[in-house]
Structure 1
Amino acid sequence: MIRYTLQCERSHGFDGWFRSSGDFDLQAEAGLLSCPLCGSVAIEKGLMAPAVRTAEKVAESTPVTAERAELPNSGDVALLGDKEQRLRAMIRALRDEVTKNAENVGPRFAEVARRMHEGEIEKGSVYGKASPEEIKSLAEDGIDFHPLPVLPDEGN
């Protein structure tokens, strides 16, 4: 995995993780990336300093257990320290909270979000699926939405 420092057109900075630089390019071109602060889909790579791990930092990483070593090879892998494991738990909790308390409108997300924005239906918490074109259109029209975080192991 590659971690990029990203920046939207309004200069909001945030991080993103990608399998390769090509994955970033494809997602950015398709409008699949959005700023967590303003929802802008005009995202670029920011300035970054290379990450250098020392032997001391490597020793502090969480060890791979025998149970994890038996998992099928899924490509890129990482060792997560305590800080990253806590972040992962918070992301999972956020997703669980949203899906527990919001209505899943499935592929109708863009339509429902637009109708709420225009006052045709009562505003509420919903989540669902949207195509890159729908995401770009919602953002261009100033409709406030946020990507629902997904952890890589949730698809396995």
Structure 2
Amino acid sequence: MIQYALKCSEGHSFDSWFQSAEAYDKLAAAGMVCCAVCGGSDVEKAVMTPRVRPARDAAAVPLPAKPPPESRKLSMPASAAEQALAELRRRIEENSDYVGRNFADEARRIHLGEAPERSIYGEARADEAKALAEEGVPVALLPFIPNRKTN
């Protein structure tokens, strides 16, 4: 595995892991590497600082004091973009019904008036989402993967 610092044409910086340097090159050439902030596909490697381990006999450097527990929770958003995505996710999950992998069928039923009108979210394959859009069913890709819930 290799980690690259990346940036998009809009100036957003983010990191991503790839199976190998060749895997990154292949995905980038196919336009499949997208910005984690805006979704743009014009992404390139940014200048990175190499990780170099100190010599075994190097003097021990004291670690900085630990921040309070509240500020080092992994679940806390680190940037304004992450905070906005977290808020979007919270609102969608609070105000919509999760229909899981039945999303395409349920969205079609709602569109045809066979099911009650309501906001839903779930999972659909790319071909299912494309078919829904071609049929005039309003769908949108979410910038996150839904938590698995029971229907």
Superposition TM-score, scaled by structure 2 size: 0.49
Q: Which structure carries more helix by proportion?
A: 1
- Higher radius of gyration, 1 or 2: 2
Q: Which of 1 and 2 has higher RCO (CA within 8 Å, sep 6+)?
A: 1
